[in-house]
Structure 1
């Protein structure tokens, strides 16, 4: 997947509260200055405190303990789904004490950063994570063909090295995220968007320890919800409530909601059946051009609730239908 969104062996930096805020704590995949940090700041700005964590699992575990929110990398447009995130979403805590409450999408823009006052002619060394160097090959070959390329633990580490270089040897440049300019002193950006590919996007899930309270810096309330994430599993006939063996296609049909994406991971359920799977189905509220919605062929057996939005009522009813059809179904969140 994309740069700095995989597990790092380096330790998290000391920049967990680098932006003043009176809001909740948000955990992200560190260290400070990664693209996860950039995505979090683009989404929440100064409305939260930022808390870097060493792994995606650490981010997940932080929500509900030391943090109220977490940002989980979900998919990269080049490298695909993030398996470690989906592995955490197999936890029974999701949908009970932790919920998916939104998304954030970041365009991966690599920046060339130097000490203030330096120019392209001064650069003799370029530092970055190995993926950052690899993703900027054409730019480096064209503009810095004689520079020595040095791989370091993270893009943030590269920026920190350049920031702390003594003036008389400050001939290094870093390839890193734009947010590093806010974290480390004495830096300026010479070029932005120097990566070879310009269709590199990473999408994140926002995980929260509350199912309905408005998110910080939110642009809409619950009445604007149009997405949901549902976890589905076809149970063996011996465990199912259905008279016929359930299938994943049957459970999807029972949902009766348009699926925007489906991801699969091995099931953690203890069973004699081999190769059982759990599916993560992201459904979306489709609206016709005239403002109406397609009618469901399924009757909802869930009573109306004044505390639920119309969309969440439909999703809760869909989950109930999947259970009636012989599956295990859990609502992991709406947004």
Structure 2
């Protein structure tokens, strides 16, 4: 029987997400004491899968999970669950709201109820716990007028009274959970892919990475930065995108990123949970307008010019090491033309047109290199 780990004790939102994920499948749910234990046990094989929270619609990413995934290789994303999160104020029977002196919960839950706490319980002591269920357990065993922020399940598990329901600041509050495994999921029609990437330390490096996805019309659904923790100002980026890593466009983009980034790691591809996603905006009845098409062409033109500029600067560097008698390398030119023709065919572009464009560029680059070499040799 499959073993799936979740953050305990019983009654956490992670348990609720795990139960939603497993559905009616016969599984053994394993209560874990911490997120690092879940990751470690999945990696070692003690667990088949583990469920951890990744981001919340109100408070953003769970940084502890991002840092764990950056540190631990051998664990991949293989599923996701989006859970509507409703926080409740739980007290021992007989405790009145006016008597509450302390509120306990997980830091994320406390942050998601910050408005309610400051408005309805100003001045009350706040204490962080390792989970919402742990907070409920502490309150149940306390003698003082304390309260916990937790789930309906925790209220039942620890014989607490639901004092106030739905105290979260946002009615649309939701948390996205990730299913961890030793491998990711196979390809499908509704997939998402997550990666970690560290850009090279040079101007435009991050733009160059993101451009690879834009050029292939790949939608990025999340970008999150975290410090590399080696020196100040050095960051890695967690990126989610629509599509499976084996899809042609996604695969091409990842290959291009791998060539240009300092570090790339694919966290995994998995079925996307869009159960709480807002409805897509309807497309215009007439499709794209002339103005919109021209605006997109202008954007592409800007990218083309920038890429030509990058290529030109590289050609200038080569001119700095060439001798007057070896400026033109016809074998290299033919190699470039063969390669771009092949790329054009693969991309569905007319290879004759691409070859014509490149022949013009090569001619201009040869002229430019001659001027650079002559200037260098004359000492000017």
Q: TM-score, normalised by structure 2?
A: 0.54
In 2, Cα distance between the equivalents of 1:151 and 1:326?
42
Query: How much does 1:110 deviate?
Result: 2.2
In structure 1, C-alpha distance between the alignment counterparts of 2:264 and 2:146, rounded to whole Å:
53
Return the structure number with greater helix share.
Answer: 2
Q: Secondary structure at the match of 2:208?
A: helix
The answer to whether the 8 A contact 1:251-1:327 is kept is no
1:32 to 1, 10, 17: 10
Of residues 223-232 and 23-32 in structure 1, the stretch that sits farther from structure 2 once superposed is: 23-32
Q: Given the alignment of the two structures, is residue 41 of structure 1 paired with residue 19 of structure 2, yes or no?
A: yes
Residues 314-325 of structure 1: pairs in structure 2 closer than 5 A: 314-325=249-260
Cα distance per residue 1:122-174 (max 9 Å; x no partner): 996587415667838759987x99xx989584542453466679xxx999875
Higher Cα radius of gyration: 2
Structure 2 match to 1:99 = 76
Q: What is the CA distance between 1:282 and its match in structure 2?
A: 0.9
Aligned equivalents of 1:150, 1:87: Cα separation in 2? 26
The size of the alignment, in residue pairs, is: 260
Shift of 1:46: 5.8
Q: What is the match of residue 264 of structure 1?
A: 225
Contact 1:312–1:334 at 8 Å: present in 2 too?
no
Write the distance in 2 (CA, Å) between the matches of 1:114 and 1:274: 44
CA displacement, residues 230-272 of structure 1 (integer Å, 9 cap, x when unaligned): 22222368xxxxxxx8712112222432212211122368xxx
Give distance in 2, aligned partners of 1:314 and 1:101: 20
The answer to whether residue 76 in structure 2 is matched with residue 68 in structure 1 is no
Query: Is 1:79 the equivalent of 2:59?
Result: yes
The structure with higher relative contact order (CA 8 Å, sep 6+) is: 1
2:180 to 199, 207, 216: 207
State the match for 1:225 in structure 2: 190
Alpha-carbon offset, residue 327 of structure 1: 4.5
User: Once the 2 structures are TM-superposed, how far is the Cα of residue 328 of structure 1 from its aligned partner?
Assistant: 3.1
What do the CA deviations read for 1:91-113 (whole angstroms, capped 9, x no partner)?
Answer: 361xxx32112222233312355
Superimposed CA distance per residue, residues 11-36 of structure 1 (whole angstroms, 9 cap, x where no aligned partner): xxxxxxxxxxxx42222333332222
Secondary structure of the residue that 2:188 maps to in structure 1? Answer: helix
TM-score (norm 1): 0.61
In structure 2, relative to structure 1, the CA distance for the partners of 1:180 and 1:326 (3 Å cut) is closer
Gaps of 5+ in 2: 271-380
Distance change >3 Å, CA 100–CA 133, structure 1 → 2: closer
Alignment of 1:1-335 (within 5 A): 23-45=1-23, 47=25, 48-65=27-44, 66-91=46-71, 93=73, 97-113=74-90, 128-129=103-104, 135=113, 153=129, 155-160=132-137, 175-181=149-155, 183-184=157-158, 186=159, 189=162, 192-212=165-185, 222-235=187-200, 247-255=205-213, 256=216, 257-267=218-228, 275-285=233-243, 312-325=247-260, 327-335=262-270
Unaligned runs of 5+ in 1: 1-22, 214-221, 238-244, 286-308
Map Cα deviations across residues 30-59 of structure 1 (whole Å, 9 max, x no partner): 333222223323333464333333433332
User: 1:187/1:315 Cα in 2 relative to 1: closer, same or farther (>3 Å)?
Assistant: same
